[in-house]
């Protein structure tokens, strides 16, 4: 069970995520977030000392959220092909149910690097997520399913593809919902990465 | 009469035939073979740098250097810095020195009735092992020489350290082996002068004269050396004629029905390799003097081997001076060895003589590997009509003990001979 | 104490490594070799194999095969004979312990005394409680000599699953390497021929998952392979020699073999964090201003 304070922090992050996706990161202020939660601004600062700190906590929160889901998949005794599909399912499901999360990752974390350069160096703030992707790759190669290659050439293919689809959805360009693409995308990704 | 010769990095069986109280034939059998060449097949070429030193615990470093040079010979073009070449030569030289000390104190002196003085062998050899370890990390069994150079870098402090080991070994030599200033000993060209000195070497040499052993151990008086470096030159020598124009193409190995060691010949002839051969080709004054007086007998063989100690110690000091620390120790080859198809060969002077390695790489793995060790040259098991070098050296002797002495002046190594 | 040094299928590397023990005089005063490959002894090999000479410790160097003979006697018979009378048996080196390099020799069914690689074999199972394994190619002279002294003192040595004394084999070769900082902070640009850098990432260094004290007690009292810049080849382990020894086996850029006891998730998380930072001192040459 999360402590009361932790629960409250999660609420704040969730609310901030929603506001960021509607109003944009720069246009959203701490008072806006406090307001949305009917909290005093002063109380808000008890949880997050600044918007930059909140921003970093949010990306860690998303990474932990996704990392945890991927860890469950990695620990299943299933083939790499099945794992590939499940990871894609989880990613798309999150994009559909919590679009603000993936949105934040793609639009804010990746494109507002000045906010994250201190304290989110490299991939520190998305470590949980990236670690699980690494394990998925490493085990896939080890059992002979995936082709051995540079980590980033595989990571880029995987994340670029999924991110691109979520981006298209966000732009309302996709004619069908994301889960309609799971079959084809899983097939394509596995085909591209397997031996 | 079969005699088991022990403590030669394993054993050998010598089967003596006598006629009229004299040895008229000796069949030499080495009983164990691990077939390292087979172990190498199918392996990644660089793995040979780890496997091959394990051919032999006493001269494994020579196998490392021969391996790296054979692998580098597979390239059409490969750049090795002068610094790396010098470092390789230094460590190989240190191995030769430790080997000679061990042979002299553990093998030779006891054969002259002296109690084996283990500490006289271990003290200087440990200094040489330390000197190798400064560059290679450890001794025995480092693989620090790799395709493209050496893995280590060295600082002035390392050089100071190594120089002290060398100086200490020289001091040991001057106190024990030949009690004389090494500088004088190195330019000495008169055996009589050495005999007048004290020390463990003159003691043995005097003993040889006293026991009238001066005719013992004569063989073909035919020498060959293939390894070349800043000290040794390649060539062959027969009696007094020396030529440097030789080619490994004329070296042929023949299996041996009675022994697991293969015989090796140059243009169908047996040649002696080792310190005496090197000294004859290099025209080392003191050894030439011994040879002029007594021929290729045990006296010359012993003095040649021990003489190499101060020569090499002195030479390694000069090599240290030549090291340019600003040069790279390693230059990454432009092509990875696993992308190479080709063949390479090398020859280095190991303690006991020329060591030859040949390798074929196909599609990035070792297709074939061939090792010809110095002891195969000297201890070849020929026939009555065509005797091997050490066989010929034992003919005519009257007893097995003296034959064993003659045999061991070649510094026998069972593990190398059969590998 | 009386010691028999018995060589089986070997290169004599352990014999010569032993000769590097710095306090040899003391050792030779305290122990007597009834046979040693290069040190003179009161008995010949012929006597050793045909008679049963009183002995306290049997040292075995080299891999073992039924086919292999010393002085015309199968080495397994010599072992069986002396194993009965000695207090302890010590397998000296990786060949005698796990089969090692010469497991691949031409002799039939070549093994270590109790193990062939990691697998325990039954041939000498009665001797298990008498045996101490000292792996390493070669064995470190101090590891050998001090173990013999411990036997002499009847010290109850703690042994690992392969019967190796924990005093030396509880450590990893990585402990004490002068290149540790490059490993800790994941500075992975090692090049051969330099004082800087860690060989774990690209050049096959097995030190973080190899049991041994090389970097704790050093070789020849001065150095170690990894300090010199040579990857650890894992020579104390049952798997020695693996293949492609100068390259790190990686799957999608992630090392397959990780530091001993460190889970993949833990390793990757820590690596991810340290890799995010640039440490100027470790990026530069050691001797740069």
Summarize pLDDT for B244-300 with one digit per residue, the tens.
Answer: 999 999 999 998 877 788 999 999 999 999 999 999 999 999 999 999 999 999 999
Contact at CB, C251 and A141, closer than 8 angstroms: yes
Please say whether the beta carbons of C5 and C37 come within 8 A: yes
Checking if the pLDDT of B226 tops 80, the result is yes
Q: Please state whether beta strands B12-19 and B22-30 pair in parallel, antiparallel, or not at all (unpaired).
A: antiparallel
Whole-structure pTM value: 0.94
Query: What pLDDT, on the 0 to 100 scale, is given for residue A163?
Result: 92
- Same domain as A64, residue A31: no
Mind telling me how many Å the CA of C265 is from chain B's nearest CA?
31
Task: Provide the CATH number for the domain around residue C10.
Answer: 3.40.50.700
CA angle, A78 as apex, A74 and A82 as ends, to 5°?
Answer: 90
- Same domain as C123, residue C12: yes
Give me the phi and psi of B85, to 5 degrees please.
Answer: -65, -40
Number of B/C CB contacts below 8 angstroms equals 201
- Same domain as A143, residue A103: yes
Interface contact C243, partner B, CB < 8 A? yes
Summarize pLDDT for C67-106 with one digit per residue, the tens.
Answer: 999 999 999 999 999 999 999 999 999 999 999 999 999 8
List of residues 6+ apart from C5 with CB closer than 8 A = C15, C33, C35, C36, C37, C59, C61, C92
Contact at CB, A124 and C276, closer than 8 angstroms: yes
- Same domain as A108, residue A44: no
Mind telling me how many Å the CA of C240 is from chain A's nearest CA?
21
Two structure tokens written together for B175: 């106190």
CA B366 to each of CA B29, B41, B55, B144, C32: distance values in angstroms, whole numbers, following the listed order: 30, 5, 17, 20, 44
Contact at CB, C272 and A127, closer than 8 angstroms: yes
Whole-angstrom distance, CA of residue A33 vs CA of residue A44: 8
Domain count, chain C: 2
- Same domain as A124, residue A89: yes
What's the mean pLDDT when you consider all of chain A? 92
Q: DSSP code of B54?
A: G
- Same domain as C245, residue C195: yes
Contact at CB, A137 and C252, closer than 8 angstroms: yes
Mind telling me how many Å the CA of C226 is from chain B's nearest CA?
7
Query: Domain of A12?
Result: 1-49
Interface contact C229, partner B, CB < 8 A? yes
Whole-angstrom distance, CA of residue A188 vs CA of residue A78: 19
Checking if the pLDDT of B138 tops 80, the result is yes
Task: Using the 3D structure, point to which of A11, A28, A49 is the last residue of a domain.
Answer: A49
Whole-angstrom distance, CA of residue C28 vs CA of residue B319: 36
Task: Provide the CATH number for the domain around residue C255.
Answer: 4.10.480.10
List of chain B residues whose C-beta atoms are within 8 Å of the C-beta of residue C220: 126, 129-130, 132-133, 138-139
List of chain C residues whose C-beta atoms are within 8 Å of the C-beta of residue A159: none
Q: Which of C193, C199, C242 to mutate to test the interface with B (most CBs of B within 10 A)?
A: C193
Contact at CB, A150 and C253, closer than 8 angstroms: yes
Closest chain A residue by Cα to residue C265: A131
Those chains having 3 or more beta-carbon pairs within 8 angstroms of chain B are: C
Interface contact B260, partner C, CB < 8 A? no
Number of A/C CB contacts below 8 angstroms equals 58
Summarize pLDDT for A55-105 with one digit per residue, the tens.
Answer: 999 999 999 999 999 999 999 999 999 999 999 999 999 999 999 998 898
Band of pLDDT at residue C111, cut at 50, 70 and 90: very high
Other Cβ atoms closer than 10 A to C154: 9
Q: Which of C253, C257, C271 to mutate to test the interface with A (most CBs of A within 10 A)?
A: C253
What contacts 24+ positions apart, CB below 8 Å, involve A155-162? A155/A130, A157/A189, A157/A192, A157/A193, A158/A133, A158/A189, A158/A193, A159/A133, A161/A185, A161/A188, A161/A189, A162/A88, A162/A91, A162/A92
Q: Which of C8, C233, C33, C11 is nearest to C144 (CA)?
A: C33
Query: Domain of C247?
Result: 171-289
Task: Provide the CATH number for the domain around residue A38.
Answer: 1.10.10.60
- Same domain as A108, residue A41: no
Query: What pLDDT, on the 0 to 100 scale, is given for residue B389?
Result: 97
Query: Domain of B119?
Result: 2-418
CA angle, B141 as apex, B136 and B144 as ends, to 5°?
Answer: 30
Cis peptide bond prior to C102, omega within 30° of 0: no
Contact at CB, A122 and C275, closer than 8 angstroms: yes
- Same domain as C200, residue C58: no
- Same domain as C202, residue C152: no
List of chain C residues whose C-beta atoms are within 8 Å of the C-beta of residue B60: 11, 13
List of chain C residues whose C-beta atoms are within 8 Å of the C-beta of residue B59: none
List of chain C residues whose C-beta atoms are within 8 Å of the C-beta of residue A151: 252-254
Closest chain C residue by Cα to residue A129: C269
- Same domain as A145, residue A80: yes
Query: What pLDDT, on the 0 to 100 scale, is given for residue C192?
Result: 98
Task: Provide the CATH number for the domain around residue B98.
Answer: 1.10.645.10
The complex scores an ipTM of: 0.97
Q: Please state whether beta strands C32-35 and C57-61 pair in parallel, antiparallel, or not at all (unpaired).
A: unpaired
Contact at CB, A131 and C265, closer than 8 angstroms: yes
Mind telling me how many Å the CA of C275 is from chain B's nearest CA?
25
- pLDDT above 70 covers a percentage of chain C that reads 100
Q: Do the chains B and C touch each other, judged by at least 3 C-beta pairs below 8 angstroms?
A: yes
Summarize pLDDT for B76-101 with one digit per residue, the tens.
Answer: 999 999 999 999 999 999 999 999 99
What's the mean pLDDT when you consider all of chain B? 95
Question: Alpha-carbon Rg of chain B, whole angstroms?
Answer: 21
CA C10 to each of CA B125, C16, C20: distance values in angstroms, whole numbers, following the listed order: 21, 12, 18
Closest chain B residue by Cα to residue C199: B151
- Same domain as A98, residue A184: yes
Contact at CB, A135 and C264, closer than 8 angstroms: yes
- Same domain as A121, residue A168: yes
State the average pLDDT over residues C261-269.
94
List of chain C residues whose C-beta atoms are within 8 Å of the C-beta of residue B107: 38
Domain count, chain B: 1
Checking if the pLDDT of B141 tops 90, the result is yes
Those chains having 3 or more beta-carbon pairs within 8 angstroms of chain A are: C
Closest chain A residue by Cα to residue C254: A138
Closest chain C residue by Cα to residue A194: C252
Summarize pLDDT for B7-19 with one digit per residue, the tens.
Answer: 888 899 999 999 9
Contact at CB, C252 and A148, closer than 8 angstroms: yes
Checking if the pLDDT of B323 tops 80, the result is yes
Q: Which of A165-174, C70-79, C123-132 has the lowest mean pLDDT?
A: A165-174
Contact at CB, A121 and C276, closer than 8 angstroms: yes
- Same domain as C154, residue C204: no
Query: What pLDDT, on the 0 to 100 scale, is given for residue B270?
Result: 97
Two structure tokens written together for B113: 């009735």
Provide the chain C residues 101-140 that lie in CB contact (below 8 A) with chain B: 101-102, 104-107, 137-138
In DSSP notation, chain C reads -EEEEEE-B--SHHHHHHTT-TTHHHHHHH-EEEE-SSS--SS-HHHHHHS----SEEEEESBB-TT-EETTEEHHHHHHHHHHH-SEEEEESHHHHH--GGGGSSSTT-B-SSEETTEE-STTGGGGGGEEEE--SS--HHHHHHHHHHHHTT----B-TTS-BHHHHSSBTTTT-TTHHHHHTT-----TT-SS--TTTTS---GGG-B--HHHH-BTTTB-HHHHTPPP--TTSTT-S-SSTTS--EETTEESS-STT--HHHHHHHHHHHHTS--HHHHS-TT--
Paired residues of B236 in beta bridges: B224, B243
Summarize pLDDT for B25-80 with one digit per residue, the tens.
Answer: 999 999 888 889 999 999 999 999 999 999 998 999 999 999 999 999 999 999 99
Domain count, chain A: 2
Query: What pLDDT, on the 0 to 100 scale, is given for residue B155?
Result: 96
Task: Using the 3D structure, point to which of C149, C167, C185 is the last residue of a domain.
Answer: C167
The H or E element containing residue B415 is helix B414-418
Residues in A lying within 8 Å of C, measured between beta carbons: 71, 121-124, 127-128, 130-131, 134-135, 137-142, 146, 148-152, 154
Query: What pLDDT, on the 0 to 100 scale, is given for residue B170?
Result: 98
- Same domain as A26, residue A96: no
Whole-angstrom distance, CA of residue B71 vs CA of residue B374: 20
Q: Do the chains B and A touch each other, judged by at least 3 C-beta pairs below 8 angstroms?
A: no
Q: DSSP code of B262?
A: P
- Same domain as A68, residue A6: no
List of chain B residues whose C-beta atoms are within 8 Å of the C-beta of residue C14: 57
Two structure tokens written together for A118: 């201190």
B39, B141, B148 member nearest C104 (Cβ): B39
B60, B115, B328 member nearest C13 (Cβ): B60
Checking if the pLDDT of A2 tops 80, the result is no
Band of pLDDT at residue B139, cut at 50, 70 and 90: very high
Closest chain A residue by Cα to residue C266: A131
C28, C225, C246 member nearest B138 (Cβ): C225
Please say whether the beta carbons of B251 and B266 come within 8 A: yes
- Same domain as A166, residue A103: yes
Mind telling me how many Å the CA of B65 is from chain C's nearest CA?
15
Annotate C209-231 with b (16+ C-beta within 10 A) or e (fewer).
bbbbbbbebbbbebbbbbbbbbb
Band of pLDDT at residue B157, cut at 50, 70 and 90: very high
- pLDDT above 90 covers a percentage of chain C that reads 95
- Same domain as A34, residue A130: no
Query: What pLDDT, on the 0 to 100 scale, is given for residue B232?
Result: 97
Interface contact C163, partner B, CB < 8 A? no
Please say whether the beta carbons of C91 and C98 come within 8 A: no
Contact at CB, C256 and A138, closer than 8 angstroms: yes
Task: Provide the CATH number for the domain around residue A122.
Answer: 1.10.357.10
Please say whether the beta carbons of B234 and B226 come within 8 A: yes
Closest chain C residue by Cα to residue A142: C251
Band of pLDDT at residue A1, cut at 50, 70 and 90: low
């Amino acid at each position: 069970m999360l402590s009361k304070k932790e629960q409250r922090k999660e609420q704040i992050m969730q609310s901030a995520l929603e506001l960021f996706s509607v109003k944009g990161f720069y246009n959203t202020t701490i008072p806006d977030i406090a307001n949305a939660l009917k909290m005093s601004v002063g109380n808000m600062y008890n949880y997050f000392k600044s918007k930059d700190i909140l921003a970093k906590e949010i990306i860690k929160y998303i990474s932990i959220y996704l990392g945890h889901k991927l860890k469950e998949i990695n620990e299943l005794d299933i083939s790499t092909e099945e794992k590939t599909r499940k990871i894609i399912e989880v990613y798309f499901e999150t994009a559909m149910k919590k679009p603000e999360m993936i949105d934040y990752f793609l639009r804010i974390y990746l494109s507002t690097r000045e906010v994250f350069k201190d304290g989110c160096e490299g991939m520190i703030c998305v470590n949980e997520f990236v670690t699980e992707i690494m394990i998925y790759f490493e085990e896939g190669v080890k059992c002979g399913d995936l082709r051995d290659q540079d980590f980033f050439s595989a990571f880029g293919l995987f994340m670029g593809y999924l991110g691109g689809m979520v981006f298209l959805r966000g732009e309302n360009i996709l004619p069908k919902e994301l889960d309609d693409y799971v079959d084809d995308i899983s097939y394509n990704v596995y085909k591209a990465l397997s031996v | 009469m079969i005699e088991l010769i022990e403590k030669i990095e394993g054993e050998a069986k010598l089967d003596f035939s006598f006629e009229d109280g004299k040895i008229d034939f000796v069949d030499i059998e080495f009983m164990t073979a691990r077939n390292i060449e087979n172990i190498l097949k199918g392996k990644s070429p660089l793995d040979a740098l780890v496997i091959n030193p394990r051919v032999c615990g006493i001269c494994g470093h020579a196998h490392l250097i021969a391996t790296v040079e054979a692998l580098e010979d597979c390239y059409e073009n490969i750049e090795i810095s002068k610094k790396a070449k010098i470092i390789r030569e230094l460590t190989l030289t240190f191995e030769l020195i430790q080997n000679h000390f061990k042979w002299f104190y553990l093998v030779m002196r006891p054969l002259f009735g002296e109690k084996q003085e283990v500490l006289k062998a271990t003290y200087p050899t440990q200094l040489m092992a330390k000197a190798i370890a400064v560059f290679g990390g450890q001794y025995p069994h480092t693989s620090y020489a790799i395709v493209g150079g050496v893995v280590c870098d060295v600082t002035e402090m390392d050089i100071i350290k190594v120089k002290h080991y060398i100086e200490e070994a020289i001091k040991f030599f001057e106190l024990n082996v030949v009690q004389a200033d090494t500088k004088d000993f190195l330019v000495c060209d008169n055996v009589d002068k050495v005999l007048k000195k004290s020390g463990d070497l003159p003691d043995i040499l005097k003993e040889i004269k006293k026991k009238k052993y001066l005719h013992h151990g004569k063989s073909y008086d035919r020498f060959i050396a293939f390894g070349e470096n800043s000290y040794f030159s390649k060539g062959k020598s027969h009696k007094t004629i020396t030529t440097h124009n030789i080619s490994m193409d004329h070296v042929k190995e023949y299996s041996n029905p009675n022994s697991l060691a293969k015989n090796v010949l140059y243009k169908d002839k047996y040649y002696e390799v080792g310190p005496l051969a090197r000294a004859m080709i290099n025209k080392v004054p003191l050894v030439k003097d011994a040879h002029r007086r007594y021929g290729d007998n045990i006296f010359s063989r012993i003095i040649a081997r021990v003489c190499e100690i101060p020569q090499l110690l002195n030479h390694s000091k000069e090599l240290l001076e030549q090291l340019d620390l600003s040069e790279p120790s390693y230059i990454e080859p432009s092509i990875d060895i696993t992308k190479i198809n080709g063949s390479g060969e090398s020859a280095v002077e190991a303690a006991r003589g020329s060591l030859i390695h040949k390798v074929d790489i196909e599609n990035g793995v070792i297709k074939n590997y061939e090792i010809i060790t110095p002891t195969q040259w000297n201890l070849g098991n020929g026939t009555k009509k065509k005797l091997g070098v050490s066989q010929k050296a034992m003919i005519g002797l009257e007893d097995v003990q003296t034959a064993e002495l003659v045999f061991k002046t070649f510094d026998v190594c069972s593990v190398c001979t059969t590998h | 104490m009386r010691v028999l040094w018995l060589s089986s299928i070997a290169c004599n590397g352990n014999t010569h490594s032993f000769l590097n023990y710095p306090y040899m005089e003391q050792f030779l005063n305290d122990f007597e070799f009834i046979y040693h490959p290069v040190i003179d002894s009161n008995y010949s090999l012929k006597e050793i194999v045909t008679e049963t000479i009183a002995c306290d410790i049997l040292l075995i160097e080299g891999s073992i095969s039924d086919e292999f003979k010393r002085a015309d006697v199968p080495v397994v018979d010599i072992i069986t004979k002396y194993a009965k009378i000695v207090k302890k048996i010590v397998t000296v080196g990786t060949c005698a312990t796990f089969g090692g390099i010469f497991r691949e020799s031409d002799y039939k069914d070549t093994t270590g005394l109790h193990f062939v690689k990691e697998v325990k074999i039954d041939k000498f199972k009665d001797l298990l409680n008498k045996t101490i394994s000292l792996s390493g190619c070669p064995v470190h002279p101090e590891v050998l000599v001090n173990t013999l002294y411990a036997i002499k003192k009847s010290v109850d040595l703690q042994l690992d699953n392969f019967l190796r004394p924990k005093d030396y084999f509880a450590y990893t070769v990585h402990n004490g390497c002068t290149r540790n900082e490059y490993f800790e902070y994941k500075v992975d640009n090692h090049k051969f021929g330099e004082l800087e850098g860690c060989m774990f990432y690209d050049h096959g260094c097995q030190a973080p998952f190899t049991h041994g004290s090389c970097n704790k007690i050093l070789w020849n009292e001065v150095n170690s392979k990894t300090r010199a810049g040579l990857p650890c080849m894992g020579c104390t382990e049952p798997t020695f020699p693996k293949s492609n020894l100068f390259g790190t086996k990686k799957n999608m850029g992630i090392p397959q073999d990780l530091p001993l006891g460190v889970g993949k998730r833990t390793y990757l998380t820590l690596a991810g964090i340290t890799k995010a930072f640039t440490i100027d001192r470790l990026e530069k040459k050691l001797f740069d201003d």
